[in-house]
Structure 1
Amino acid sequence: MNQYQTLLYYCYTTIENAEEFAADHLEFCKSIGLTGRIIVADEGLNGTVSGTAEACKTYMDTVLADLRFAATEFKIDDVSEPSFVKMHCRYKPEIVHSGLRDPNIIDPKKRTGVHLEPLEFLEMKDRDDVVILDVRSNYEHNLGRFKNAVTLDIDNFRDFPSKINELAQYKDKKILTYCTGGIKCEKASALLLHEGFTEVYQLHGGIIKYGKEAGGKDFEGKCYVFDNRVAVDVNTVNPVVVSTCRNCGKTTAKMINCANPECNEHFTQCDDCGWAMDGCCSEECKEHPRKRPYDGTGYYVKVPQQLNLNKIGRKEFISDLRPAALY
C-alpha cells in the first residue's frame, strides 16, 4: 500500500510581499515533512510537493484555508516513495516563464480560453473544426502527446510567443490547448486570444486530470513530470509508446538526463544504449571528464558545481539536474 502522495497544483492569484511569502512557505513545508519544488511570484503559486498522506492533507487544508488560494485544484497521485529529495520554494518573476509580463496582454486572472473538463475535451477533440495544440516543450511532447496534436519546436515555454505566426493557419478552427497540469495553457490561451484567435479552449487540469477522469484515451506515450518519477502512465484505454531511442531508434518510453552535466539534455534512450553509452547522448559526452556514473536510471540529484570565478570573486554555480518550470 502506498503511504506517500505527490501533489500537483497551481493558482493564479495576487500575492503581496511574495518574496517574504516564499521564505515563510518554505519553512512551513519543511515543518510538516514535505519535499518538492514550489515557485512563488506576485501572480501566484505553482508547485509539486510530496510526502506522507497526512502531511499532504495538512498542506492542502492549509493552502485552501487561505482565501487567496481557495480555488486551487490539487492533482493527487499515490506513490511508493517521496518524489523529491529536498524541499525548494523560490520567488520568481512568473510562476511559469513566458517572458510576457504585461497584464494588458496576459493576465490569466482576467481572460483565458474556455476551460474544458476532461470528458468535454474527449468529446470535442476529434471534430473536423478542431485543432489540438500541445503547448509544452520538445522533450515533453516527444515522450507523449495526444493523437493528431499539433506540436511546436520549442525548448522552453518562453519560446511559445515566437511561434504564434506558425499557428495563423488555424485561426478559423477551434483551438484546444493542453499541457501537463493546465498552468501553461492559462497563458498560452490568453496570448492566442490576444492575437486574434476567436475560439480558444484549454484542457482543465491538463493531461494528469485527463488520465484520471477520461482514462487518458488517445494520449499516446507517457507524460513527462517534473519530479523523480520523470514520466508517468496516463492512458489506460488504448496505450501506445511513441517515443524512440535517440541513439538506435528503437521504441522506448525511458527518458533520462545526459550523464555529462554540462550537457544534461533530456532525451529518450533504451536500456541497451543506456549501458553502451554510459547514459550519454553522444560519444563526445561519453568522453567528457565530468561525466557522472550511470546507474541505469539516468536521474541525478542536484549537486551544485563551481562554474567560474568572476571579477569580484563571487562563485557562480550550475546544477547537475536540468532546471525546468513546473507543469
Structure 2
Amino acid sequence: MIKYQTLLYYCYSRIEDAEQFASDHLKFCKSLNLVGRIIVADEGLNGTVSGTVESCKIYMDAVHADPRFAKTDFKIDDVEEPSFIKMHCRYKAEIVHSGLRDPRIINPEEKTGIHLAPADFVKLKDEEDVVIVDVRSNYEHSIGRFKNAITFDIENFRDFPSMINELAQYKDKKIITYCTGGIKCEKASALLLHEGFENVYQLHGGIIKYGKEAGGEDFEGKCYVFDNRVAVDVNSVNPVVISTCRNCGTHTTKMINCANPECNEHFTQCDACGERLEGACSEECMAHPRKRVYDGTGYYVKVPQPVNTEKLKLSKV
C-alpha cells in the first residue's frame, strides 16, 4: 500500500506580496506535516514536497483552488518514505536562478518555446533537423541525459545564457530543450527565441513526465533530483548506465557529496571506493580533520555553522 508521495511542480504566475505568501505557505505546509523545499518569488512557485498520500492530495487541491496556480502540473512519485527531512519555503528573486529577470525580455507567462507532450517528443527527437539541448548543470547530466543531447559544462543554470553562442550553428534547426521538470526550459526557450532562434520547443514536464508517460525511451542513465533520493530511474524501455565512479571508473549511478565539508563536491562514486575512502573524493579529503562520518549514503544534513564574530567585526569597520 502506498503511504507517501513526493510532488514536483512549478507555476509561473504573478504573486503580490510574495514574501508574506511564502511565510503563510510555510505554515500551511507544516500544518499538513509536509517536508520539502519551496521557492516563492514575485514570478511564481517552484517546489518539491513530500508527505502522506492524504496530505499531498490536500496540498494539490489547495494549490489548484487558487486561481493563480490552477494550471500547475504536479509530477507525482510514490515513495517508501518522505524525500526530505525538513520543510522550507523561502522567498527569492526568481523561482529558478537564471539572472534573466527583466520581464520585458524574458516572461514565461507570455512567450516560451512550443510545449511538446512526451508522446510528441518521441515522434520528433530522432528527426535529422532536430537538436536536443540539455539546459541542466554538469553534475545533473553527468549521471543521465538523452542520447545525442547537447550538454554544457556549467555549474548553475545562471551560466546557461553565456552558452547561447555555442548553439548559433543550429539556428536553422528545430531546438528542443529539456530539464528535470520543465521549469528551466521556460526561461531557456524564451531566451533562445529572444536571441533569434525561430523553431524552439521544450519537453513539457521535463524528464520526469517523459519517464512516466513515454517510458523514458533513449534517456540514458538516471535523472538527478533535488531531494534525498538524489537520482531516480526514468527509462523502462532501453535503460543503460552512463555514469562512472570518479575514483576507479566502474559504472555506477550512486552520487554523493564528499565527506570533507570544505570540499563537499558532488560526484559519482561506487560503493567499494566509498568504503575505501570513507565517502571522500580523494585521500587528501579523507584525511581532512573535519571529515564527516560516512554512513554509506553520502547525504549530509546541513548543520548551522557558528557565527564568525571576527569577520562581523571587520565588516563593520
Q: TM-score normalized by structure 2?
A: 0.97
For 1:19, the equivalent position in structure 2 comes to 19
Distance of 1:259 and 1:152 partners within structure 2: 27
For 1:131, the equivalent position in structure 2 comes to 131
1:38 and 2:19 matched: no
Q: Counterparts in 2 of 1:250-261, with a 5 A limit?
A: 250-261=250-261
Distance of 1:154 and 1:51 partners within structure 2: 32
Distance of 2:102 and 2:290 partners within structure 1: 41
Distance of 2:235 and 2:38 partners within structure 1: 27
For 1:216, the equivalent position in structure 2 comes to 216
C-alpha RMSD over aligned residues? 1.3
For 2:73, the equivalent position in structure 1 comes to 73
Other structure's SS at 2:301 match: coil
Distance of 1:216 and 1:262 partners within structure 2: 37
Listed one character per residue, the Cα deviations across residues 46-72 of structure 1 (whole Å, up to 9, x for unaligned) are: 000000000000000001000000000
Q: Counterparts in 2 of 1:1-327, with a 5 A limit?
A: 1-306=1-306, 308-313=308-313
Identity percentage of aligned residues? 78
Query: Is 2:2–2:53's contact at 8 Å kept on the other side of the alignment?
Result: no
Residue 266 of structure 1, CA deviation:
1.0
Listed one character per residue, the Cα deviations across residues 169-197 of structure 1 (whole Å, up to 9, x for unaligned) are: 11111001000000000000000000111
Task: Report the AA paired with residue 7 of structure 1.
Answer: L
Distance of 1:73 and 1:196 partners within structure 2: 29
Task: Report the AA paired with residue 230 of structure 1.
Answer: V
Residue 310 of structure 1, CA deviation:
5.0
Other structure's SS at 1:305 match: coil
Listed one character per residue, the Cα deviations across residues 240-289 of structure 1 (whole Å, up to 9, x for unaligned) are: 00000011111111101111111111110001111111111122211211
Distance of 1:278 and 1:29 partners within structure 2: 36
The number of aligned residues is: 315
Contiguous gaps of at least 5 residues in structure 2: none
Distance of 1:58 and 1:117 partners within structure 2: 27
Residue 308 of structure 1, CA deviation:
2.6
Residue 311 of structure 1, CA deviation:
4.8
Other structure's SS at 2:22 match: helix
Contiguous gaps of at least 5 residues in structure 1: 316-327
Residue 314 of structure 1, CA deviation:
10
Q: Structure 1 residues 111 and 222, CA, compared in 2 at 3 Å: closer, same or farther?
A: same
Distance of 1:93 and 1:115 partners within structure 2: 25
Residue 10 of structure 1, CA deviation:
0.1
